[in-house]
Structure 1
Amino acid sequence: MQYNAYMKARYQYRIYPTTNQQVELAKLFGCCRVVWNDALVLVKAVPKGKQWPSNAELQKLCITQAKKTEARSWLSEVSNIPLQQSIQDLGVAFKNFFDYRKGKREGRRIGFPRFKKKMSRQSARFRKGGFSIKAEKVYLAKVGDMQTKWSRPLPSEPSSVTVIKDCAGRYFLSFVVEVEPTEAEPKNQGVGIDLGLETLATLSTGEKVKARDTSDLDLKIRKGKRKLARAVKGSKRRESLRVAVARMEAKQRDIRRDCNQKLATRLVRENSVVVLEDLNVSGMVKNRTLARTISRAGWRQLRTLCEAKAKMINEREVRVISRWEPTSQYCSCCGYRWGKLDLSIRSVLCLNCGTEHDRDKNASKNIKAAGHADSNRQALSSVRPQSGAVACLPTQQEAI
């Protein structure tokens, strides 16, 4: 297996702009948003069958010529680099959309680019020439030196920086840097992971990792949203409620991401191979009883973090088995298949070998075995012994 000498990564830091800098950033975000929306309007106005304007033509129409008009003269008050980058980002969005339509891009569905809104997450990207780092302060063109909370040093010189304002009113700087994969000796050859709700992850080693409880915060968020729905639109009270709810949601997201970050880091460092299931989350959230809990479990986020961290350490691999693999339907010791189990059954006794299994631990061991199977080997479900008789005995029933 060959590894890249360098790879790109993002390093994000919290910043605390002054009042004047917040005003300048608000202008910058607004200009980038207007340029994006104006360019999208021009593209949508092109008749069917005609060629769309290129990025260079959109920059000329939406930036250069727009600055000469009275309606868009204020575009000259901000740096030109983020405005040009906004047009390029729109071009990338179109490319991703058509690549997905043609089958060249895998993963989640990529929709047609949409208009940017003022109340959503705001961002502006600076390339080299539009920013500099001096004396632990980041200078942004026509904004000034930003007070940055350096939580960790940058591994190399950044190629670009994105200034971000989230819905909770917090400001961040996101740097794109090149990092070199590190060397680390794994403690284990591999581990299988069974993801759940009450227990976030059950490892094939027998360890169970529980997510941090945010139920109290969830109740506050739901109460705040009910108040927000009753507030008068356009009022100051509604805006203050919106910010308060956004801050609570941001806190909940930070707790979940922190938990997943630490778990993913430990799994990748200690194991040479991490095996996960390809869960159908979009289908699971159709269950109205568990939709909110499943959405906030962060299963996909944990998988993404594991895959990203595996690229940063040599000789690490993340494998994903099919969602149709019957990992909870057979014994991990003898391979005897007993069939489907009700979700309320959390412990089973194999009548073939007499081993009592915890449902999640047994599934995690089967996930690990499926991940380590050879590529030319048939699916485990086809080689396991089949039986029409009852092959397990429930010994404990718990509500999930």
Structure 2
Amino acid sequence: MTQIKRAFKYRFYPTDEQAAELSRTFGCVRLVYNKALEERTAAWNSERLRMSYGQSSARLTEWKKTAEFAFLCEVSSVPLQQTLRHLQTAFTNFFAGRARYPRLKTRKRSRATAEYTRSAFTWRNGHLTLAKMTTPLDIRWSRPLPVGAGPTTVTVSRDRAGRWFVSMLCDDAIASGTDTDLSVGVDMGITSLVALSTGEKIPNPRHERRDRARLARAQRELARKAKGSRNRDKCRHKVARIHARITDRRRDFLHKLTTRLVRENQTVVIEDLAVRNLLKNGTLARAISDASWAELRSMLEYKCAWYGRDLIVVDRWFPSSKMCSVCGALTAKIPLHVRTWTCRCGATHDRDVNAARNTLAAGLAVAACGADVRPQREPSRTGRSATKQETQRATAGIHCL
């Protein structure tokens, strides 16, 4: 059994009073974050001083005492303190080189969210009541919480389509997967979302393309409406609902696919794709975004950690598509439109399945020997090894299911 922190996300339907209170809280959270960010930026630009979370918290207390920001006292103080902690984390990641400089939150583009800790909500008999509220939230329990577990942190959010969600962070125990000695190589693509080393190819559902005509029609209607009008708001919500439908279907498909791969195999080997660089291709950017390779990898990482599986990532410069999985010979160049090719040894390969088999072989070599053991290949132009030099066990993360 693996003990983890796991978030369970549910949809809920607030009353008018609850919706108004949460909307005020979202606005105050955004204001405090932006004001603290501006002060920290100004302190650095003028005096080269780094403000800490404690200093920002003291400044928040001072803001509440002024007539201009006295309304901050009307909402729960916990979400305001939590947003300062999130800002501190953002700066920590920036100075560590893991993220860009924090940006200001906007009402239209930023996610409307507020985080409550134990002192700001009541959990009793399966009912959740937030601070400053007298009635519990009307939650749709699509799945039960772990037996005997209660939420330690609650995050309330509202998406662009106007849907309300509550995410509860709980302690959970994950049973290890059934013992298996199977391994699989995964090659991600566009026509086939993934090709497996077993020869199976899973088609790409192309969720965005299926709703593209409906989305384009809704966006044209939005463009014709006057800015600031109620009709424009209605059309904006219509566009957001279509995007939400696409996102939900894509996430559901990826969850089912990754869960199956992790349950059936002890070792999963994937390619280290530079998705951000691939999106610079104007011809394929839309299809690559729809495939959502980064989310697929993220799901594999935390599910492998949950179920005690091994995830191995092969270096992006490894020539998996150009190498014969039978004899190990390299072909000089295979254009992207060529989906099958024949090696000089006589073996005929499907491009994607062959890449998956070579990825699996390279990953298992590293797992077994911890060194660059692989079929013959020419040195890459970067001089780096074809595979990463250690088996990568994914780090457990907090994900909403």
Verify same fold: TM over 0.5. yes
Aligned counterpart in structure 2 of residue 56 of structure 1, from 54, 58, 64? 54
**Is the 1:123–1:164 Cα contact (8 Å) retained in structure 2?**
yes
Aligned counterpart in structure 2 of residue 24 of structure 1, from 21, 26, 36? 21
Match of 1:397 in 2: none
Match of 2:125 in 1: 135
| Structure with more relative contact order (C-alpha pairs < 8 Å, separation 6 or more) | 2
Match of 2:234 in 1: 240
Question: CA–CA distance in 2 between the matches of 1:50 and 1:349?
Answer: 63
- 1:52 Cα deviation from its structure 2 partner: 2.9
After TM superposition, the structure 1 stretch with the greater mean CA deviation from structure 2, 299-308 or 209-218, is 209-218
Match of 1:277 in 2: 271
Match of 2:90 in 1: 93
**Is the 1:186–1:269 Cα contact (8 Å) retained in structure 2?**
no
Match of 1:249 in 2: 243
**Is the 2:186–2:197 Cα contact (8 Å) retained in structure 1?**
yes
Q: Deviations over 1:44-97 (max 9, x none)?
A: 2214444233222222222x2222222212112111111111111111111111
**Is the 2:123–2:150 Cα contact (8 Å) retained in structure 1?**
no
Q: Output aligned runs, 1:107-186, within 5 Å.
A: 110-119=99-108, 120-143=110-133, 144-155=135-146, 156-186=149-179
Q: Deviations over 1:24-53 (max 9, x none)?
A: 110111111111111112112214444233
Matched, 1:360 2:352: yes
**Is the 2:2–2:306 Cα contact (8 Å) retained in structure 1?**
no
Q: Deviations over 1:13-34 (max 9, x none)?
A: 1111112211111011111111
After TM superposition, the structure 1 stretch with the greater mean CA deviation from structure 2, 39-48 or 356-365, is 39-48
Structure 1 consecutive aligned stretches of length 4 or more whose deviation exceeds 4 Å:
none
2:359 maps to a residue whose letter is I
In the superposition, relative to structure 1, how do residues 16 and 348 fare at CA in structure 2: closer, same or farther (>3 Å)? same
> What's the Cα RMSD here?
1.9
Question: CA–CA distance in 2 between the matches of 1:213 and 1:188?
Answer: 33
- 1:384 Cα deviation from its structure 2 partner: 4.2
Tell me the TM-score normalized by structure 2: 0.87
2:203 maps to a residue whose letter is K
2:356 maps to a residue whose letter is S
User: Secondary structure in 2 aligned to 1:65?
Assistant: helix
Alignment gaps of 5+ in structure 2: 380-401
Match of 2:32 in 1: 35
After TM superposition, the structure 1 stretch with the greater mean CA deviation from structure 2, 42-51 or 193-202, is 42-51
User: Secondary structure in 1 aligned to 2:317?
Assistant: coil
2:176 maps to a residue whose letter is E
Matched, 1:204 2:197: yes
Q: Deviations over 1:345-379 (max 9, x none)?
A: 11122231x22221111111111101101355436
Match of 1:65 in 2: 62
Q: Output aligned runs, 1:309-348, within 5 Å.
A: 309-314=303-308, 316-348=309-341
In the superposition, relative to structure 1, how do residues 273 and 69 fare at CA in structure 2: closer, same or farther (>3 Å)? same
- 1:141 Cα deviation from its structure 2 partner: 0.6
Q: Deviations over 1:254-307 (max 9, x none)?
A: 111111111111111111111110112122222211111111211010000000
User: Secondary structure in 1 aligned to 2:151?
Assistant: coil
Alignment gaps of 5+ in structure 1: 387-400
Match of 1:74 in 2: 71
After TM superposition, the structure 1 stretch with the greater mean CA deviation from structure 2, 72-81 or 39-48, is 39-48
Question: CA–CA distance in 1 between the matches of 2:56 and 2:277?
Answer: 40
- 1:150 Cα deviation from its structure 2 partner: 1.5
Q: Deviations over 1:204-234 (max 9, x none)?
A: 1111112324323122223323333343221
1:152 maps to a residue whose letter is R
Match of 2:390 in 1: none
- 1:177 Cα deviation from its structure 2 partner: 2.0
In the superposition, relative to structure 1, how do residues 329 and 298 fare at CA in structure 2: closer, same or farther (>3 Å)? same
In the superposition, relative to structure 1, how do residues 17 and 112 fare at CA in structure 2: closer, same or farther (>3 Å)? same
For this pair of structures, how many residues does the alignment match?
Answer: 371
Identity of aligned residues (%): 40
Question: CA–CA distance in 1 between the matches of 2:217 and 2:279?
Answer: 22
**Is the 1:370–1:380 Cα contact (8 Å) retained in structure 2?**
yes
1:118 maps to a residue whose letter is R
**Is the 2:206–2:290 Cα contact (8 Å) retained in structure 1?**
no
Match of 1:373 in 2: 365
User: Secondary structure in 1 aligned to 2:192?
Assistant: coil
**Is the 1:6–1:179 Cα contact (8 Å) retained in structure 2?**
yes
Question: CA–CA distance in 2 between the matches of 1:232 and 1:70?
Answer: 36
